[in-house]
Amino acid sequence: MLGYIVEKVLAGQADTLKERTLGVEVFQRPPDYDTNADPIVRFTAGEVRKRIAQFYRDNPHSGPVEITLATGTYVPQFRRVTPLDEPTVIPSTPEALAATPIPEAPVPSLAVEPAPPSRIVSPVRWALAAALTLVILGTMAFRHFQPAESPILTVWNPLLKSPDMVLISAGRPHPEDNEAPESPSTTIREHILRPEFRISLPTVATISQVAGFLQSQHKRFRIHEAYSNNLQDLHRRAVILINGNNNKWTALLLQPLRFHFVQTGDFSYIQDAEHPENRDWNVDFGQPYLKQTTDYAIVARFNDATTDGPVMVLAGISSNGTDAAGEFAASPEAFQSLAHNLPHGALERNFEIVLKVEVIGGNTGAATVVATHFW
């Protein structure tokens, strides 16, 4: 990205440096991609700013010209650095750069013979040389400038890179074992009113969040009802499990992990295997609906030994938790904030996150991270 924007400025095309153009030209996004759902340009620009600042901080005498990228713009500026004077801003056009006089003071950091007058480098070439030097010297720092550098893509990469379509397996009510099967004379109305035919609005919202994100990354997917899936359906493929207590695969695959769901009658909670006596992360399903003030959810991504593939879990104890888990998993800001408090590379590992979700009048409110586990 840095090389691209510098070359465009030096070619007199600074006016073309827009977010969508960079997304298409640098990151190979389609022309009509959603910049809000896929903020890779903004994230990478922020990384460029940080890496440039770090480079000049570590290399204060790197050359006669410095590059800056101000917040809110993708047009770089060039500053001439002289030994005695303050840096001066060089306009970002080739014509203005070419018209800027070359300082007569020599660069003191290099003990070499001065170049003959006929070989003095123009400001445009100085700017380009500085850019190329920055790229070369910063190779180790810049080599990871790929979409996976943003935290949300780091989290989703194991599923996005899987060769097959992602399977979204969503839970919903299902018949009890002792419930009589439908008769051949069951009407369409009677069929669609059966409990197992229903799916909650929070589950739909979570599926929509996940599907929208996968589409923004051009990853194909299928949506299945968890009750109809068997182990072969999940084997060696990327799987997203939605819902907790009514998704048998969520319960099965989380059971060996540190955080998992436990249900005793109407009382359901997330258990921490390291502190099994703690049942604070709970929902009592016997309480009045409108008096519920909190829910809890698990957001997890791990390579599972049972399915032999990457698994993402977005599951609340009740529906509000699942809704919040879906929003969290598709939020670049949520993972960006989380990454600030984690060691470098933590999101590349298996992880579980426990969310506390505020519930107001039956509606999903804010979610906060109350526990994490990485391995």
Range of the domain at 35: 2-102+119-146
Query: Same structural domain for residues 264 and 344?
Result: yes
Query: Same structural domain for residues 71 and 158?
Result: no
pTM more than 0.85: no
Q: Single out the residue of 207, 152, 146 nearest to residue 334, CA to CA.
A: 152
Query: Same structural domain for residues 309 and 171?
Result: yes
Q: Looking at the domain assignment, is residue 304 inside a domain?
A: yes
Percent of the chain whose predicted confidence (pLDDT) is above 70: 78
Q: Looking at the domain assignment, is residue 280 inside a domain?
A: yes
Query: Same structural domain for residues 252 and 343?
Result: yes
Query: Same structural domain for residues 269 and 325?
Result: yes
Q: State how many domains the chain has.
A: 2
Residues 329 and 314 sit within 8 Å (Cβ to Cβ): yes
User: What is the rounded distance in angstroms from the CA atom of residue 370 to the CA atom of residue 350?
Assistant: 17
Query: Same structural domain for residues 277 and 164?
Result: yes
Query: Same structural domain for residues 253 and 368?
Result: yes
Q: Looking at the domain assignment, is residue 114 inside a domain?
A: no
Q: Looking at the domain assignment, is residue 109 inside a domain?
A: no
Query: Same structural domain for residues 172 and 136?
Result: no
DSSP code per residue over 5-50: HHHHHHTT-GGG--HHHHHHHTT---TT--TTT--HHHHHHHHHHH
DSSP E strands, the chain: 65-68, 77-80, 88-90, 166-170, 221-225, 239-242, 259-264, 267-272, 282-284, 294-304, 309-316, 351-360, 363-374
Query: Same structural domain for residues 240 and 194?
Result: yes
Question: Which of 53-67, 199-213, 261-275 has the highest average model confidence (pLDDT)?
Answer: 261-275
Query: Same structural domain for residues 230 and 331?
Result: yes
Q: Per residue in 211-252, pLDDT tens?
A: 999 999 999 999 998 888 888 989 999 999 999 988 999 999
